Amino acid sequence: MRRMATVGIVGAAATVAAAVFVQTVVVPESDESTKMFSYPFWSRALFVVSPVYALLHVLVLVGVLGFVRCGAAGPGRDARVGGGLVLGGLGVFTAAELASIPVRGDRVADTGAILVSATFALAMLLGLTGYLLLAVATARAGRWTGWPRRAPLVAAVGSVVVLVMSPSSELLPSGVAVWAVGQLILCAATYTDPAPAGPATAKRGAEREVRLP
């Protein structure tokens, strides 16, 4: 699990760096119209940018898969459904990045661009729902303590932020950065404790230690 978490950390950290660069450098210098789907990039640049973003999403997906498989959220229904929704959302997110390539020259009001934008929104909604379920499941399971226990909730907050900022193409990179920070924290929590023990197991282990001569 730790290797998967490391992959996710790399992907999330790179996404944060890329989003901050776009927000602070690309957006202020962009001469592309905000009415174009590719904004703040030229349409030709999006042909390269979209696959790179898709690759980063795959790396994050690997890290989140590590969290789902580590068992921190327990074996319950919320954990299973939440994990499936989050992983499905990241898969849809990756597909949406690749789907951006054919419509990179469209205006935001064109049908193709609207469909791709709706796909991005669907990905975030799936992720938000999944992370909320995982946050509840992780709290109930009690296998993580301290800051890692709140990691799924932080990831959910990141999804809310990017959804709120998505109507503004000029602020969207900041939303993506916040979202990626949430993924980074979740993957870091998995790296910190990749094999959390259940409360009962931990208690029995402590009792055995007390009985040792």
pLDDT, tens digit only, all 213 positions of the chain: 889 999 999 999 999 999 999 999 999 999 999 999 999 999 999 999 999 999 999 999 999 999 999 999 999 999 999 999 999 999 999 999 999 999 999 999 999 999 999 999 999 999 999 999 999 999 999 999 999 999 999 999 999 999 999 999 999 999 999 999 999 999 999 999 887 776 544 444 444 444 444
The whole-model pTM stands at 0.89
The residue range of the domain holding 78 is 2-211
CB-based contact 123:92 (threshold 8 Å): yes
Number of domains in the chain: 1
CB-based contact 38:169 (threshold 8 Å): no
Task: Compute the distance between CA of residue 138 and CA of residue 142 in angstroms, rounded to an integer.
Answer: 6
